[in-house]
Amino acid sequence: MHNEEGNVELLYHELKEVMEGLRLRYEIIFVNDGSTDGTGELLKEIAKGDGTVRVVELDGNFGEAAALSAGYQFAQGDWIITMDGDGQNDPRDISALLEMLRKGYKAVSGWRRKRKEDYLSRVLPSRVVNWLIALVTGVKIHDVGCGLKGYRSSLVKGYQIPHGFHRFLPALFGVKDEEVAEVEVNDRRRRSGRSHYGLGRIFEVIRELLTVRFAISDAEGWRRRIHKARGAISLGGVGALILLIFSFNPLTLILLLTMIALASLCLLIERNLLRFIRAQKEGVFRVREVMNG
C-alpha cells in the first residue's frame, strides 16, 4: 500500500468476505510502503480490531519489489497470495489461484485478459514487454504485470527482490514453465487515488531484461565472467584506438565503436548483477513497526 487511503477500507472488507468464505486458516498482511496520506492510520485501526490482520510499516518508500519481499518475510502460511493495494485486483479471484496451488503448481499468475486501461499507453506496451520477458526467461505467461499471484511459501520465503525485478515474477524464483499456472482474473478500474506507474519505467525494464537471465541462473558466477569479458573487450578497444591514431581506417573506427558499445553493455549488466547480489545479502527494505506480529 502506498498512498491508498481511499481504497484501504473497501479492499479490507472485500478480502474479509472472500477469506471467511474459503473456510481456511488465513492472515491478511498489509505492507505500508511509506505512505504520506492517511493509509497508515487506517491500517492500524483495522489491525486493532482484527487479529487476522498484520500491518508491516516500512521505514520509507522502498517500492513494490521491496514491499513484496517484506510480505514474503512476514507471511506464515504454506501458500502466499499477493495483490496490489489499489483495488484493481479482485479478491474473489483468490480461490481460483488457490485451486491451482492445490493441484501442485509452484506458482500461479493472474491474467488480466480484459484490461480496464488505455490501450495505446498501457495495454499495448505491456503486451510487448510480456512477450519479451517470456522470450528471455522461458516462462511463458501473458501478464507479468498482474499483481495477483500465488506461490508456495517455500519458493519465495526470505527472497529479496531488487528494485525493478518484480516485473519478472515468478520466473525470477527459478521455476520452470511447466511449474507455473495461469488464471484469468477480473481487472477493475482504480476506485480512488492515482497510478504510481509511468512511461519512465521503460529504461528500467530494458536494463533488467538484459540482466534477469544471468541473475536467475548464477548471478555471482556471471558477474565474474562478464567482468573478465569487459576487461578483454576494453583492451581490444585500446588496441583499436592506437591503430586509429596512427592510421585512420573506417573499419578500425567501426571496431572501436563496437568495442565501446560492448564494454558499456557489459558494465551495465555487471552493475545490475552486483545490485542483485547485494540485495540478497543486505536486504531491500527496513521495517519501522509491525502490528499483530
Cβ within 8 Å of residue 142, ≥6 positions away: 111, 113, 130, 182
- How many domains in the chain? 2
The strand ranges marked E within the chain are 28-32, 53-58, 79-82, 107-111, 149-152, 180-184, 287-291
Residues 82 and 225 in one domain: no
Nearest by Cα to 156 from 71, 257, 235, 231: 71
Residues 105 and 217 in one domain: no
b/e map 13-45, b = 16+ CB within 10 Å: eebbebbeeeeeebebbbbbbbbeeebbebbbe
Domain that holds residue 128: 8-210+283-291
For residues 45 and 53, is the Cβ–Cβ distance under 8 A? no
User: Does a structural domain hold residue 186?
Assistant: yes
CA distance 108 to 93: 12
For residues 277 and 219, is the Cβ–Cβ distance under 8 A? yes
CA 208, distance to chain mean position in Å, is: 11
Residue 276 CB neighbour total at 10 angstroms: 24
Residues 231 and 245 in one domain: yes
Residues 268 and 179 in one domain: no
Reading the chain (293 residues) residue by residue, the pLDDT tens digits are: 999 999 999 999 999 999 999 999 999 999 999 999 999 999 999 999 999 999 999 999 999 999 999 999 999 999 999 999 999 999 999 999 999 999 999 999 999 988 766 666 666 777 888 888 889 998 999 999 899 999 999 999 989 999 999 999 999 999 999 999 999 999 888 776 666 555 556 677 788 889 999 999 899 999 999 999 999 999 999 999 999 888 888 999 999 999 999 999 999 999 999 999 999 999 999 999 999 87
The CATH number assigned to the domain holding 189 equals: 3.90.550.10
The single-letter code of the amino acid at 195 is S
> Which pLDDT value is given to residue 44?
96
Please report where in the chains the cell 519458493 appears, as a residue: 155
Residues 13 and 133 in one domain: yes
CA distance 174 to 170: 8
Taking CB atoms within 8 Å and a gap of at least 24, the contacts of 89-92 are 89/146, 89/147, 89/148, 89/185, 89/187, 89/188, 90/14, 90/148, 90/185, 90/186, 90/187, 90/188, 91/11, 91/14, 91/15, 91/17, 91/18, 91/19, 92/14, 92/18, 92/186
- The CA-atom distances, in angstroms, between 239 and each of 236, 260, 264, 272 are 5, 12, 17, 28
Residues 19 and 156 in one domain: yes
